[in-house]
A = this chain, B = another copy of it.
Amino acid sequence: MLITRASEYAILSLILLCKAKSPMDSDTLSRELSISKSFLAKILQSLAKAEILNSYKGVNGGFALKKDPKDIDMLWVTSAVEGKVPAVFECAPSLEDCPSDKASTCSIWPFLHKLQGKIDLFLANLTLADLLND
């Protein structure tokens, strides 16, 4: 969980960038999507750092997909934008870090772990191409 608007905006941007074959600048994207320009700029920068987008400075610069749409999955996108894999619960990824002394006998950790696995699998199997095709 913990999926915020940043992930939404990232996906929307990727859809537009996928259709536009030349780089689009953040200003154009924010106008097209009616999204806060500065917030979107940070999101695009995150996507660039994650190697999902290429960024180009200067005249006619902007952002463009760095990968094929079929190679861009939503887990990657949300992780890049949220700064981490959207975690169901802080303790879910690793039992070792559990602050509780009940770590080894935690009654809900197995279920959280399962839920997290299902969410991750869903996001990982959903690519940008899946959203564009069919």
Contact = CB atoms under 8 A, between A and B. Distances in A.
Copies in the complex: 2
Interface of A: 1-5, 7-8, 11-12, 15-16, 19, 33-34, 88-89, 100, 107-108, 111-112, 114-115, 118, 122, 126, 130-132, 134
Given A11-B88, A11-B115, A114-B131, 10 more contacts: A1-B4, A1-B5, A1-B8, A2-B4, A2-B5, A3-B3, A15-B111, A16-B107, A114-B134, A115-B131
A8 B112 CA distance: 9
A15 to B, nearest CB: 5
Q: Is the interface of A mostly helix, strand, loop or mixed?
A: helix
Contacts of A114: 131, 134
Contacts of A122: 122
Nearest to A112: B12
Contact of A8 (B8, B12, B88): B88
A43 B4 CA distance: 19
A115 to B, nearest CB: 5
A106 to B, nearest CB: 10
Given A1-B3, A114-B131, A126-B118, A8 B89 contact: yes
Contacts of A2: 3-5, 8
A12 B116 CA distance: 12
